[in-house]
Amino acid sequence: MEFSDIAAVSGKGGLFKILSPTRTGVILEAMDGSKKKMIANMQSKVSILSDISIYTTTEEGAVPLSDVMKKIHAEFDGDTGLSSTSDPDELKSFLKFILPDYDESRVYVSDIKKLVSWYKSLVEVAPEVLKEDEAGSKEEKAETSDKPDS
Looking at the DSSP bridge assignments, the partners of residue 18 are 28
Q: What percent of the chain has pLDDT over 90?
A: 11
Domain annotation for the chain: domains and CATH numbers:
3-49 (2.30.30.730), 52-131 (1.10.10.1650)
Number of Cβ within 10 Å of residue 123's Cβ equals 19
Q: What percent of the chain has pLDDT over 70?
A: 87
Over residues 105-124, the pLDDT tens digits come to 998 999 989 888 888 888 88
Give the mean pLDDT of the chain.
Answer: 82
What is the pTM assigned to this prediction?
0.79
Residues 127, 98, 54: CA angle, nearest 5 degrees: 85
